[in-house]
Amino acid sequence: MQNISQEQATDAMPLAGAETTRFWRDRRFGGMECLSATFLTHEFAPHAHDTFSLGAIEEGMQVCTIKGSRESAGPGGLYLINPGETHDGAPRGGGYRYRMIYPDIALMREILEDVTGKPVRGTPSFGTQLLQDQALADAFQDAHRILEDGGGALESGQAMFQVLDAMFSRHGSAIILPVDTAERTGVQHARDYLVENYMDDIGLEDLAAIAGLSRAHLIRAFRREFHITPHSFLTDIRIRQARRRLREGGQPAEIALECGFADQAHFTRHFKARTGVTPGQYRAR
C-alpha cells in the first residue's frame, strides 16, 4: 500500500462543489448496492457490512482505519474490504470522490465458480484491504460508470464481471481461521449475543458474564479481536438490520424503535454516519 504523507494531503487542492451522493441497487447483479459520492466533511463512524465493500478513489484523498491500521488513499487507491471487517473513513486535504459496490458473499462465490469451473467452499476473502493498483482502480471506475449510466445488460455485466474476476485473481485469498483461545471464544460469544439480541438494551455487566470475562477485559479483548467496541458493534448491527428493513419498504420511524434506537433522530444520525445517506434516501432507491 502506498501511503499518502501528511504534507501531500495538506497541499491537495480542495474539491469544488458540494457533497453529493448517488445510491442505487443494480438488478443486473442481484440488487447489488452501489454508491458514487463526493465527501468534503462527512466522516464515517466505525462500521462493517454483511457484504464486501469494494471501491476506488477517483479524486482527492481519504484517511481510514481498517482492522486497526490507519492509512490514507488517493487516486489509484483500491478498497477490498471483506464482510464483517470494521472500517471508517474521513476526508483529507479537501475531500474526495469515490465509487463503491457492495456485492454479497453469494455473488462473489458465484463469480469464482464461473471463473474456475469448480465449486467454491467457504467464504472468499481478500488478504489486503487497502492497496494501490492504478490499472485495476481505473478499470473498476470505468465499469462502475457503465452501471451508473445504465449501460446495456451485456456491456455492464461483462465490464463489472471482468473487474471482480481480476480483483480476486490478483488480490484474493482463502480465509485462514485463527487458533481458538478462551478469550477469543468469550468475545465471540459476546458478539453472537449482540447479533441475536440487538433490539434489547444490553448491559455491559450482562455481556461480560456471557463472555466469562471482566467488564474491562471484555472491552479490551473485543476491541482487539474485532477492532471496535461492544457498543459500537451493537450500533452497527442495528444499522445493518435497519438497512434490511428499509429495503423491504419499512418506515424509518418504526424501524428506529424496532432496531433498538431511542428515537428517529438518534437513528438517522447513526445511519448517515455509517452509510453516507439518510434512511429516507436509502429507502427511496
| Alpha helix segments (H runs only) across the chain | 6-11, 105-116, 134-148, 153-171, 182-196, 204-211, 215-226, 230-247, 252-258, 264-275, 279-284
What pLDDT is stored for residue 197 in this prediction? 93
Question: So where are the chain's domains?
Answer: 6-174, 182-284
pLDDT score of 34: 95
Instruction: Note the pLDDT of residue 83.
Output: 93
Q: Enter the pTM of the model.
A: 0.71
Q: What grid cell was written down for 107?
A: 455473488
pLDDT score at 10: 37
Q: What is the per-residue pLDDT across 230-281, written as a single tens digit (0 to 9) for each?
A: 888 999 999 999 999 999 988 999 999 999 988 889 899 999 999 999 998 8
- The reported pLDDT for the residue numbered 7 is 31
Q: Answer whether CATH 2.60.120.10 is correct for domain 6-174.
A: yes
CB 76 within 8 A of CB 4: no
User: How confident is the chain (285 residues) per 10-residue block, as mean pLDDT?
Assistant: 36 69 88 94 93 95 91 93 93 92 88 70 86 93 90 76 85 58 90 93 86 84 88 91 92 92 89 91 79
pLDDT at 173: 67
Give the chain's length.
Answer: 285
Q: What is the pLDDT of residues 66-77, one digit of tens each?
A: 988 899 999 999
Task: Tell me if domain 6-174 and domain 182-284 are identical in fold.
Answer: no
Compute the distance between CA of residue 212 and CA of residue 266 in angstroms, rounded to an integer: 31
Assigned superfamily of 182-284? Homeodomain-like (1.10.10.60)
